Amino acid sequence: MGGINQIKTAALLGLLSGLLVLGGYYLIGDESGLYIGLALAAFTSFGSWYSSDQAALASFRARPIERHEAPELYDIVASLSDRAGIPMPKLFVAPTKSPNAFATGRDPDHATVAVTEGILESLSREELEGVIAHELTHIRNRDTLIQAVAGTVAGAITFIGRILTFGALYGPVTRDRRQGANPFGVLFLIVLAPIAAALIQFAISRTREFSADLGSAEITGNPAALASALEKLEAMGHQIPMNGNPAMSPLLIVNPLSTQGLQSLFRTHPSTEERVRRLLELAKEKQAALKTAEKLLPLRQS
């Protein structure tokens, strides 16, 4: 499953970059636009790789905390980081009663886990361990980098679409440098490309969330605790909205703005119901395996 998710993520990132290159092509009007699009893809990817953590933390006004401020949280993160096989990340707390958490950083050596005041007050220790292990899996899998790059490239595509929208008011310039030709290419970049970019970005996020849920279950050995935490976070998140930059919502463990029906295409996360269902199935499988092992133990001893 992990290998398939990696392939899907790479393909989706490739599609995003392709849209950005195509945008540069139509923006300039000839082949030189391809190179500009490639340069934009490289520049935005590098920028998001280096500074995405600062932008995310600033968006939710998160502040660093010391061990004496939250010793239990420090102990949980230290223990789970050791189990996950990664360095202990920095810890930040966001000043909001909305229960949520996210991870950010360009690699496991430069990573941060941020939790809200609300999540510390709402979850039991086992539930909090499930959430922290989920975020540590994002760090271990470098999902924080993937999501940052996807969001930045998608934003660049939308920006190009806005430029073309402005230019179309005065007559678009196209490949042969003539005014008013090739309206379909411009229409694609103005309307369809930003929508496609958003859908691809959200598909990447949904793919990585399932993987992080599985990683949490592996690290803690308690998938039911994360399932319980997700149900609480979903219910409370709708009651207490999480303020911040909407572009950063794919980083959150639960997006309180999740929708139903056709609008679910634009959801940054899989449905909480589906995530809980998978985790509870995993818990049943784990329990069944333990019972089987208990039955076989006397036979082996004899």
What is the mean pLDDT, run by run of 10 residues, along the chain of 302 residues?
49 58 60 60 57 78 94 96 96 94 89 95 96 96 72 61 54 46 55 61 73 95 96 88 72 68 55 93 88 67 56
**Annotated catalytic residue 31:** no
Return d(Cα 102, Cα 152) in angstroms, integer.
17
- What is the reported pLDDT for 185? 55
Q: Terminus-to-terminus CA distance in the chain, angstroms?
A: 38
- What is the reported pLDDT for 96? 92
Which pLDDT tens digit goes with each residue over 26-61? 655 556 655 665 566 556 555 555 566 777 788 889
pTM: 0.71
Length of the chain in residues, anyone? 302
Give the number of other Cβ atoms within 10 Å of residue 52's Cβ: 22
- What is the reported pLDDT for 262? 42
In contact, 23 and 157? CB cutoff 8 Å: yes
Matching residue, tokens 């899998």: 141
In contact, 103 and 114? CB cutoff 8 Å: yes
Q: Residue 251, Cα to own-chain centre: how many angstroms?
A: 4
Return d(Cα 1, Cα 207) in angstroms, integer.
11
Catalytic residue among 127, 129, 135, 234: 135
- What is the reported pLDDT for 19? 61
Residue 107 is encoded by which pair of tokens?
């690699």
In contact, 224 and 286? CB cutoff 8 Å: no
Which pLDDT tens digit goes with each residue over 242-264? 877 666 777 889 876 544 444 44
Residue 261 is encoded by which pair of tokens?
């029906």
The helix-helix angle for 193-220 and 223-239 (nearest 10°) equals 140
In contact, 205 and 254? CB cutoff 8 Å: no
Return d(Cα 282, Cα 226) in angstroms, integer.
11
